[in-house]
Amino acid sequence: MSPSTRSSPLRVRELLSRKDKPRKLKNALLLGLLALASIVAVLPLFAVFLYALKQGISGLSVDFFTRLPAPVGETGGGMANALLGTGILLGLASLVGVPVGVVTGVYLSEFGRGKVAALVRFSVDVMTSVPSIIVGLFAYALVVIPMKRFSAWAGAVALAIVMVPIIARATEEILKLVPVHVREAGLALGIARWKMILRIVLPGSLGGITTGVMLAVARAAGETAPLLFTAFNNQFWSRGLDQPIASLPVQIYTYAISPYEEWHEQAWAGAFVLICFVLAINLLTRLLLRRSV
């Protein structure tokens, strides 16, 4: 570097950059760590999904969807009863859970002020965070003890209780997005408030509410803990709603902790079906929401 008039500012910059070096290094290092954390965070998703795909795909066949579980030692068999059972349980649970959840959401969003509403909101919050196994205990006390046996009813009650707070929450959030002027436009036409809610607010948010319901169903579909001692399990077709009934998650659990190789394969096939169902719903709702909002 030749001594010139320009050398001085150059030197200063050089000095500055030397002083900055550790800071810049630290910056690069920590930003790199943040990126690394993101990779580490999503890694398990791929690990679980790909492993389930690899292990489960071989067990997936027409038999899996159409046949009853094979007895120990025999290969083949399927989970038809568990798939149907999960469908029945979800159907029954939705029958009660969806209306109660949506109406609760309507109440919270439309009349959500005052002490009673605060109490309801608190209850919804608590119910959202209650561990699902405890909901199972409740359903046991409520249904299994009086009926003196495990039943589809008990399982459906447990799942409905899991679903209600999720749906109520989603509905409340969605309804709150309906602008005031839309409501006022309805009222200005002279219709009653309840009609305004039922004919204007609700239909306008139907997409959002459906999304919430679907997410709640997806969540309930994967719930195992509340079914263990309510719906129990059944290796055969259920003979009635007052009888124990098989479900996909419980069947996966039973097979997973069994010592039999064939059952493990079935468990993976079941897990793969369950993951695909749940992820598909989540993906679908995401697309729906993006379009509507």
Partner 1 sequence: MGALPVDIKAIVPPALRRQRDIHAGDRRFFHATRAVALLVTLVLLGLLVQLGNLSLPVLQTSGFGFLINQNWDPVAGDFGALSFIHGTLVSSLLALLISVPVSVGVALFLTELAPRRVSLVLGFLVEMLAAVPSVVYGLWGIFVLAPLVRTEIGPALREYLGFLPLFKGAPYGVGMLPAGILLAIMITPTIASLCREVFRAVPVAQREAALALGGTRWESISIGVLRATRSGVLGAVVLGLGRALGETMAVTMVIGNRAQISASLFAPAQTMASVIANEYAEATEELHLAALAATGLVLFFVSLLINSGARFLIWNVDREARGGRSKKAGTSQVPTPVLAVPQGGES
Range 56-95, binding partner 1 (CB under 8 A) = none
Measured from the CB of residue 71, what is the shortest distance to partner 1 in angstroms? 21
Binding piece for partner 1, criterion CB under 8 A, among 7-15, 64-72, 84-92, 118-126: 118-126
CB of 221: closest distance to partner 1 in angstroms?
8
**Out of 11, 149, 176, 199, which residue is the one contacting partner 1 (CB under 8 A)?**
176
The CA-atom distances, in angstroms, between 277 and each of 169, 271, 281 are 23, 10, 6
**Residue closer to partner 1 (CB basis): 8 or 128:** 128
Candidates 93, 74, 64, 61; CA nearest to 252 is 64
199 binds partner 1 (CB under 8 A): no
DSSP string over 278-293: HHHHHHHHHHHHHHH-
Which position among 84, 100, 288, 289 is part of the footprint of partner 1 (CB under 8 A)?
Answer: 100
Asked whether position 113 contacts partner 1 by CB under 8 A, the answer is yes
CB-CB contact of 256 with 267 (8 Å) = yes
From CA 228, how far away is CA 223, in angstroms rounded?
10
Two tokens at 122? 């608190």
Give the pair of three-digit tokens for residue 259.
């010592």
**Are residues 191 and 284 in contact, defined by beta-carbon separation less than 8 angstroms?**
no
How many residues line the site for partner 1 (CB under 8 A)?
99
> Would you say 13 or 24 has its CB closer to partner 1?
24
Among 179, 240, 259, 291, binds partner 1 (CB under 8 A): 179
User: Smallest gap, in angstroms, from Cβ of residue 88 to partner 1?
Assistant: 18
Give yes or no for residue 261 binding partner 1 (CB under 8 A): no
Q: Minimum Å distance from CB 118 to partner 1?
A: 10
Q: Which stretch binds partner 1 (CB under 8 A): 63-71, 85-93, 103-111, 234-242?
A: 103-111
Provide the 3-class DSSP secondary structure of residue 69.
Answer: strand
CB 80 within 8 A of CB 66: yes
CA distance 4 to 34: 44
| Phi, psi (degrees; rounded to nearest 5) at 168 | -60, -45
The single residue listed with the structure tokens 């419980």 is 250
Write the DSSP symbol of residue 77.
B
In the complex, minimum distance from the CB of residue 91 to partner 1, in angstroms, rounded to a whole number: 19
Selected range binding partner 1 among 7-15, 61-69, 86-94, 261-269, rule: CB under 8 A: 261-269
* Binding-site member from 78, 98, 166, 223 for partner 1 (CB under 8 A): 223
